[in-house]
Chains A and B, each alone.
Chain A
Amino acid sequence: SQQGEEDPQALSIQEGENATMNCSYKTSINNLQWYRQNSGRGLVHLILIRSNEREKHSGRLRVTLDTSKKSSSLLITASRAADTASYFCATDAAGDYKLSFGAGTTVTVRA
């Protein structure tokens, strides 16, 4: 079952601009993670934020988490052509033995 839902489904931006995508989920979580997938390849772990954290940074990535609204956002700053990919949020819900993934946001960065 899909726990997370990303918004928007697709995003097209110019190189150098920022890209923001959102994720909403339904149940209590231990942590929320973001992954990147390049064109049918395997998913790559980007960043994890725990339920007691509100914001986390990693390089050009900034993740926020609002557990009261059951939502998270991923910001990619100063985007590059190499950031073109699909981005998925995944939740680790209490009592589950899995990560639950949303359908993803497809980001296209135009040169």
Chain B
Amino acid sequence: EAQVTQNPRYLITVTGKKLTVTCSQNMNHEYMSWYRQDPGLGLRQIYYSMNVEVTDKGDVPEGYKVSRKEKRNFPLILESPSPNQTSLYFCASSFRPGGASGYTFGSGTRLTVV
């Protein structure tokens, strides 16, 4: 089944404790992206990757890092999480940035930073 897999689904952590949210896709998509979703703000892009070893900042990159060492994986790293990073996070992938065939989204990771 074609899918984007995110882990974990839920995570509660403390301020300053480094964490990684994993994302993997099995569709050979070149483009991958991370979004965060907050009430009333819709989805905002954090980082994106056009291909292996090619990543760039989205609209809200502060406090986040990413890497793209393999085509299928695009982990999101929070080196020193803060409470304002409490949010619902989504990984998405597509053949092209504009998603001419639409984006495929993961099921989401609900992160709480206390």
Residue ranges of A at the interface with B (Cβ–Cβ < 8 Å): 1-2, 30-31, 33, 35, 40-45, 48, 88, 90, 92, 96-104
Contacts and interface: CB of A to CB of B under 8 A. Distances in A.
B99 interface: yes
A35 B94 CA distance: 14
B42 A48 contact: no
B88 interface: yes
Q: Report the contact-size class of chain B (Cβ under 8 Å from the partner).
A: 20 to 34
A48 B43 CA distance: 18
Contacts of B95: none
Nearest to B58: A98
Contacts of B50: 97
Given A30-B98, A33-B102, A45-B102, A101 B108 contact: no
Given A43-B103, A97-B50, A102 B98 contact: no
B41 interface: yes
B99 A33 contact: yes
Contacts of B4: 42
Given A2-B41, A88-B43, A102-B42, A97 B104 contact: no
Given A97-B48, A98-B33, A98-B58, A2 B98 contact: no
Interface string B94-114: 000111111111111010000
Contacts of B41: 2, 103
3 closest A-B pairs (Cβ-Cβ)? A45-B102, A92-B98, A42-B105
Contacts of B100: 30-31, 48, 92
